[in-house]
């Protein structure tokens, strides 16, 4: 039976993916420095073997034959998602993939080298080559899928996402944020004038911060029989669903960055840990996509772990680990003032939840124009600066390092990825609203540190669904309606414009 | 060119081996308990892919064609060793390999279950199946290689080792040990009567023991840019040459077991780290075999790290980490009395260097008789007991757990492996003697903690040679003569029968 051949084929792909995931996590957390060259060689070889195996022409025959075999519903769903991925993988020729790998790797290396000085002139030609290839890729993907070029690029990260649906959502969000942001900043200024920010009394030893992080992960619902926490330069959530490798990074000056990083990655980790275990080697049992994944990390980090309910419970646990003096004379408003501080800034990854979408919308708009050739690479700095002025009243003139040279995505050839961050933030807010409707007592449970109902809801509605539906279909099934920016906007209003936070 | 096809082929095999090595080390040191099933699945899949790739029939055509291509000397050596390994891999049919895997895995599981109670009756039938398969395997290997059946089994672990050469060596060793052991025990008794064993004043915190182990690894020559030390239930040396994963295990009662474990594995690790880096994916640049590998671990653990010269230097370093009081009032003889304590015992892995060879010779003799069908599985307990009586004056009657059920090797189907342990011990003694001739000042350098010349000698003579010569050829090139048990016997006489150890 061809289905069985595909089953063995998926086991092999899963074996290689398992190896690549653990090797990648090990590289970032454990590998001695001299192991890098051979590790890169081994991982490149395994990736090449994976691509060769996954895109082999006889797989198409197996798919065709399996479609006429007697399959149950789950097998059919698996075959459907497998076919979708196979088409995505094979619409680029091996020659094109090799060319893209070389050009984007060279551009990424150049980016690492030239970013510190913001040397745009040295960087732009290499980026130009990457953009030219991305245009070619979008065209190839478009022809294969029947989608518009930029939609075909997004389809890789969030199946079902279309600019036609996202444009009005982002447009509404942009208008609302332009109106909200000055109000939020004014309200914050007033609050801080009445009640100045209390200083955090570090240093906080890393060992103690780690213990605190572990305690919060455990409380929030991370399963330590299927995962662990390590340290790395860039926090990530990797590994495999039965062995999730999560990292954070600490600074002794402040415990909040490490802790919020832990909570963000815990959200990702729970999604992986909660995926269907049966036939885990078939792709319909993987996570849906980048936007949905980000919704799970932001559900924990933003919706849960920056809320007054959460901190009413968490302050005691934090004090237990860091010492009573850490919150001496504080109430919940004092810690919320720290975790929900809003500030305009140039750097996307440092942005708070109010300003973050502006960074994404800027990139989303520019990406579309780059792919459609409306925007030339040489004009990026000027357009970036204009948009930063318009959206966040900031200038990146003569500061390219903190402007269009700040992200790895474009040098790496990842176009169509950025919108997922903000789509995830909006999804999380909408999921939170749906959950509150389904679980009317949830806020009082959170205040007691009881996250069991909250996690069960996520498991039933999201994690266990794997990749059985497209991103918009899944959102509809979770919340009963299509993605609607009003939930996120309402969330920001409640959190940042309601005068009294404590009760 | 076929050579280039083989080059790519070896890169793929090396990529899979790299993944399997790191996944295996990670499993033993870092993996959460719930990750085991999927890890086993992934590793089995990758092993299967490796076997399928390595034994593919078209590889034989590439080998044939490459032999007629214009290759340089190094390429020819690589091709030669590659061909040897290919023949070893393909002389068993895929069907046979699968059967062997299932039967030995079942027997190994049964062994783990039944060993604690020493339930030989429950265990023997499964072992019988493994032995029957081992006989079949030895026959198949013999036909393919033209070697005698047991030689063909040993050839897997130490190419070039033949019973015709080893039998007289082991026979000489057995006679000498039978004579030496009572003298060693009597001399030790007298020494301990004059100077009783000073107690070690633990507990020693694991963190401190780890720091001490790291300091000694560094001093002895472990390269921390290409490896690391972790903890695991069974100490091992794994990973890849550019990223060696070494482990030990600690007990707080005594620091010596953990420390000597570290030093033993450091010897293995240095061999890996010192292998040729160029074309590391070709098999002639791997370590030669198990016996040579064991010679490197025992060179460090037995020859170096249990010598008076070493401890004249090391006592201060140990005190620095564990505290002055650890050796308060001790001199070098007191610590040597601990590290060189000789005691007859039933368990091979707990044996000292004087009694250890007896355990190996017992197994070596029995293995040959099992493969040649002179010995039946049902008679193992009786013969084992007789030999233990004869060689070490101990009985295993009614104690099968500490008799023929103590090792994993036979249940796992590893016949022909045991001799490597004692061959390694003899090789190490012979290498040490050759080194002392080449480096007349080495003992005074060791007393200063300077191991640079010693390591350079090992690198030049052993590590850099990879697997370019057979085990006996390599010994000849290192020491100028064939394996000669007199060096090991002389080493034991000097260490255990010379009255005054200190100067």
> pLDDT tens, A67-110?
999 999 999 999 999 999 999 999 998 889 889 988 998 999 99
Which residue in A81, A129, A265, A353 is the catalytic one?
Answer: A265
Angstrom distance (rounded) from CA A243 to CA A245: 6
Angstrom distance (rounded) from CA B345 to CA B342: 9
Q: What is the mean pLDDT of chain B?
A: 96
Angstrom distance (rounded) from CA B481 to CA B289: 19
Q: What was the pLDDT predicted at B201?
A: 81
Active site residue B143: no
Whether residue A15 lies within 8 A of chain B, CB to CB, comes out as: yes
CA A351 vs. chain centroid, Å, equals 14
Q: What was the pLDDT predicted at B102?
A: 87
Number of residues assigned to chain B: 503
pLDDT at B502 over 60: no
Closest CA to B353 of B203, B461, B503, B496: B496
Whether residue B33 lies within 8 A of chain A, CB to CB, comes out as: yes
- Residue pair A492/A353 in contact (Cβ under 8 Å)? The answer is yes
**Coil vs helix vs strand at B333:** helix
User: What is the per-residue burial (b if ≥16 Cβ within 10 Å, else e) of A332-369?
Assistant: bebbbbbbbebebbbebeebbbbbbbbbbbbbbbbbbb
Whether residue B34 lies within 8 A of chain A, CB to CB, comes out as: yes
* Rounded average pLDDT over A454-470: 98
Q: How far is CA A336 from CA A198, A325, B417, in A?
A: 11, 17, 65
Radius of gyration of chain B (CA): 23
Neighbours of B378 (CB within 10 A): 12
DSSP A303: I
Q: What was the pLDDT predicted at A201?
A: 81
- Residue pair B299/B267 in contact (Cβ under 8 Å)? The answer is yes
- Residue pair B104/B130 in contact (Cβ under 8 Å)? The answer is yes
Angstrom distance (rounded) from CA B297 to CA B303: 9
Whether residue A49 lies within 8 A of chain B, CB to CB, comes out as: yes
Which DSSP string corresponds to B400-458?
-TTTTTS-STTTTT--S-THHHHHHHHHHHHHHHHHHHH-TTHHHHHHTT--HHHHHHH
Give the rounded percent of residues in chain A with a pLDDT score beyond 90.
96
- Residue pair B453/B445 in contact (Cβ under 8 Å)? The answer is yes
pLDDT digits (tens, 9 = 90+) for B204-218: 999 999 999 999 999
Closest CA to A92 of A147, A137, A51: A137
Q: What was the pLDDT predicted at B503?
A: 38
Tell if the CB–CB gap between B19 and A19 is shorter than 8 Å: yes
Residue B499's pLDDT band (boundaries 50, 70, 90)? low
Whether residue B167 lies within 8 A of chain A, CB to CB, comes out as: no
pLDDT digits (tens, 9 = 90+) for B430-468: 999 999 999 999 999 999 999 999 999 999 999 999 999
pLDDT digits (tens, 9 = 90+) for B3-20: 999 999 999 999 999 999
pLDDT at A64 over 50: yes
Q: What was the pLDDT predicted at B320?
A: 97
Q: What was the pLDDT predicted at A98?
A: 87
Within chain A, what is the greatest distance between any pair of CA atoms?
A: 73
Mutation site, B42, B222, B241, interface A, largest A CB count within 10 A = B42
Mutation site, A20, A35, A54, A274, interface B, largest B CB count within 10 A = A35
pLDDT digits (tens, 9 = 90+) for A262-296: 999 999 999 999 999 999 999 999 999 999 999 99
* Rounded average pLDDT over A479-499: 95
Please report, for chain B, the start and end positions of each structural domain, with discontinuous segments joined by +.
2-154, 198-343+440-471
Tell if the CB–CB gap between A45 and B11 is shorter than 8 Å: yes
Whether residue A252 lies within 8 A of chain B, CB to CB, comes out as: no
Strand partners, B229: B246
Long-range contacts, stretch A184-190, CB < 8 angstroms, 24+ apart: A184/A342, A184/A354, A184/A492, A184/A496, A184/A497, A185/A342, A185/A344, A187/A496, A187/A497, A187/A499, A188/A341, A188/A342, A188/A496
Closest CA to B358 of B147, B144, B176: B176
Give the rounded percent of residues in chain B with a pLDDT score beyond 70.
99
pLDDT at B500 over 60: no
**Tokens found for residue B42:** 């992934």
How far off is chain A from B74, nearest CA to CA, in Å? Answer: 21
Q: Which residue of B has its CA nearest to A277?
A: B38
Kindly list the residues from chain A whose CB atom is less than 8 angstroms away from the CB atom of residue B34.
Answer: 223, 225-226, 242-243
How far off is chain A from B353, nearest CA to CA, in Å? Answer: 33
Closest CA to A210 of A230, A236, A237, A234: A230
Tell if the CB–CB gap between A45 and B12 is shorter than 8 Å: yes
Kindly list the residues from chain B whose CB atom is less than 8 angstroms away from the CB atom of residue A16.
Answer: 46
Tell if the CB–CB gap between B38 and A223 is shorter than 8 Å: no
Closest CA to B257 of B265, B248, B270, B246: B248
Kindly list the residues from chain B whose CB atom is less than 8 angstroms away from the CB atom of residue A272.
Answer: none
Closest CA to A219 of A462, A444, A481, A451: A451
Q: How far is CA A160 from CA A172, B288, B426, in A?
A: 20, 55, 68
ipTM of the complex: 0.92
Whether residue B46 lies within 8 A of chain A, CB to CB, comes out as: yes
Residue in A11, A46, A242 nearest the CB of B37: A242
pLDDT at B287 over 50: yes
Number of H helices and E strands in chain B, helices first, is 20, 3
Tell if the CB–CB gap between B42 and A225 is shorter than 8 Å: no
pLDDT at B172 over 90: yes
Residue A500's pLDDT band (boundaries 50, 70, 90)? low
Kindly list the residues from chain B whose CB atom is less than 8 angstroms away from the CB atom of residue A10.
Answer: none
Strand partners, B464: none
Tell if the CB–CB gap between A243 and B45 is shorter than 8 Å: no
Angstrom distance (rounded) from CA B41 to CA A15: 7
**Which run of H or E residues covers position A463?**
none
Phi-psi region of A94 (alpha: psi -120 to 50; beta: other; left: phi over 0): alpha
Kindly list the residues from chain A whose CB atom is less than 8 angstroms away from the CB atom of residue B12.
Answer: 45, 49
- Residue pair A374/A380 in contact (Cβ under 8 Å)? The answer is no
Angstrom distance (rounded) from CA B33 to CA B17: 23
For helices B356-371 and B419-438, give the axis angle rounded to 10 degrees.
130
Neighbours of A287 (CB within 10 A): 19
3-state class percentages of chain B: helix first, strand second, coil last, to nearest 5: 65, 5, 30
Angstrom distance (rounded) from CA A350 to CA A432: 24
pLDDT at A362 over 90: yes
Which residue in B265, B272, B301, B353 is the catalytic one?
Answer: B265
Strand partners, A247: A230
User: What is the per-residue burial (b if ≥16 Cβ within 10 Å, else e) of B247-267?
Assistant: bbebeeeebbbbbbbbbbbbb
pLDDT digits (tens, 9 = 90+) for B53-100: 999 999 999 999 999 999 999 999 999 999 999 999 999 988 898 899
Residue in B19, B39, B224 nearest the CB of A46: B19
**Coil vs helix vs strand at A395:** coil
């Amino acid at each position: 039976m061809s289905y069985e051949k595909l089953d063995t084929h998926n086991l092999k792909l899963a074996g290689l993916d398992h190896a690549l995931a653990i090797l990648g996590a090990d590289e970032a957390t454990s590998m001695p420095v001299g192991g890098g060259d051979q590790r890169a060689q081994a991982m490149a070889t395994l990736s090449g073997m994976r691509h060769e195996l996954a895109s082999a022409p006889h797989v198409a025959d197996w798919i065709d034959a399996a479609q006429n075999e007697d399959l149950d519903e789950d097998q059919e769903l698996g075959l459907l998602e497998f076919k979708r991925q196979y088409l995505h993988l094979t619409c680029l020729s091996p020659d094109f993939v090799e060319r893209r790998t070389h050009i984007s790797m060279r551009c990424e290396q150049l980016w690492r080298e030239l970013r510190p000085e913001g040397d745009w002139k040295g960087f732009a030609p290499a980026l130009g080559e990457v953009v030219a290839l991305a245009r070619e890729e979008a065209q190839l993907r478009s022809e294969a899928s029947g989608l518009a070029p930029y939609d075909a690029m997004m389809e890789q990260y969030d199946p079902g996402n279309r600019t036609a649906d996202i444009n009005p959502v982002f447009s509404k969000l942009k208008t609302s944020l332009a109106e909200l942001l000055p109000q939020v900043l004014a309200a914050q200024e007033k609050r801080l004038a009445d009640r100045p920010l209390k200083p955090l009394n570090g240093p906080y030893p890393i060992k103690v911060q780690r213990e605190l992080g572990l305690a919060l992960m455990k409380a929030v619902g991370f399963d330590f029989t299927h995962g662990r926490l390590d340290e790395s330069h860039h926090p990530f959530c990797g590994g495999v669903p039965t062995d999730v490798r999560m990292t954070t990074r600490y600074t002794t000056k402040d415990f909040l960055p490490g802790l919020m990083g832990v909570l963000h990655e815990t959200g990702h980790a729970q999604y992986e840990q909660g995926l269907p275990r049966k036939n885990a080697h078939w792709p319909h049992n993987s996570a849906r996509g980048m936007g949905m994944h980000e919704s799970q990390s932001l559900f924990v980090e933003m919706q849960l772990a920056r809320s007054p309910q959460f901190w009413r419970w968490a302050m005691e646990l934090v004090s237990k680990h860091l010492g009573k003096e850490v919150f001496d004379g504080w109430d919940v408003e004092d810690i919320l003032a720290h975790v929900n501080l809003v500030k305009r800034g140039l750097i996307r990854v440092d942005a708070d939840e109010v300003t973050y979408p502006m960074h994404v919308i800027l990139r989303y708009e520019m990406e579309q124009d780059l792919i459609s050739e409306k925007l030339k690479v040489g004009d990026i700095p000027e357009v970036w600066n204009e948009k930063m002025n318009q959206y966040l009243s900031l200038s990146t003139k003569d500061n390219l390092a903190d402007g269009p040279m700040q992200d790895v995505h474009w040098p790496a050839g990842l176009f169509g990825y950025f919108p997922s961050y903000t789509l995830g933030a909006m999804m999380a807010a909408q999921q939170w609203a749906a959950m509150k409707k389904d679980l009317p007592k949830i806020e009082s449970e959170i205040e007691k540190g009881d996250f069991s109902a909250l996690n069960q809801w996520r498991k039933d509605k999201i994690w266990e669904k794997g990749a059985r539906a497209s991103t918009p279909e899944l959102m509809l099934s979770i919340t009963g309606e299509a993605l609607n920016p009003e939930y996120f906007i309402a969330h920001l209003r409640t959190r940042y414009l309601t005068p009294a936070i404590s009760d």
